[in-house]
Homo-oligomer: A and B are copies of this chain.
Amino acid sequence: MNIGQAAERSGVSAKMIRYYEGIGLITAPARTGSNYRVYGEDEVHVLRFIKRARTLGFSVEETATLLGLWQDRSRASAEVRDIAKEHIVALETKIAELNGMVSTLKHLVHCCHGDDRPDCPILDDLAQGNPQ
C-alpha cells in the first residue's frame, strides 16, 4: 500500500511517517519503480505501536526504546516497566506544576471583581508590588 493508506490505517500522518523514517525510528520501506514508498501490514503495526506510545505521552526517543524492546523477543519486562514508571513520575511532576499554576490563578480570579473598573488583583499580583 502507499503512504496515504498506511497513514490512514495507522493514524500517523504521511508527513510524520516520512519524518520517522528520516530520523531512523522506522526503517525505510521498499519503493516502487516510480519511487513511491510501499508498506505492508508489518509496517502498519509498527506505526500503530508508535502512535499509541506517542498518545501515552512517551517522547519519540522513549518510543524508539520501547519499539526496540518490543521487537526484542528476549527482553526483560522489568526494563519496560522501569521506563513506564519513570514516565509516570515525569507526568506527575508536570501535573503538579500545572495544578500549582491553576490554584494560584483561581485564587487571583476569585479576588478580582471582574467588572469595568480598572482595579485588578490579577495584574497587581503579576506586577508583584511594582509601581505603575
Contact-residue size bin, chain A (C-beta under 8 Å from the other chain): 35 or more
Known: A49-B130, A77-B118, A109-B81. A101 touches B70 (CB 8 A): no
The smallest beta-carbon distance between A68 and chain B, in angstroms, is: 11
CB-contact partner of A66 in B81, B87, B91, B123, under 8 A:
B123
Residue of B nearest to A52 (CB): B126
Residue of B nearest to A94 (CB): B98
Give the interface of A toward B (CB within 8 A): 42, 45, 48-49, 52-53, 55-57, 66, 69-78, 80-82, 84-85, 87-88, 91-92, 94-95, 98-99, 101-102, 104-106, 108-109, 112-120, 122-123, 125-128, 130-132
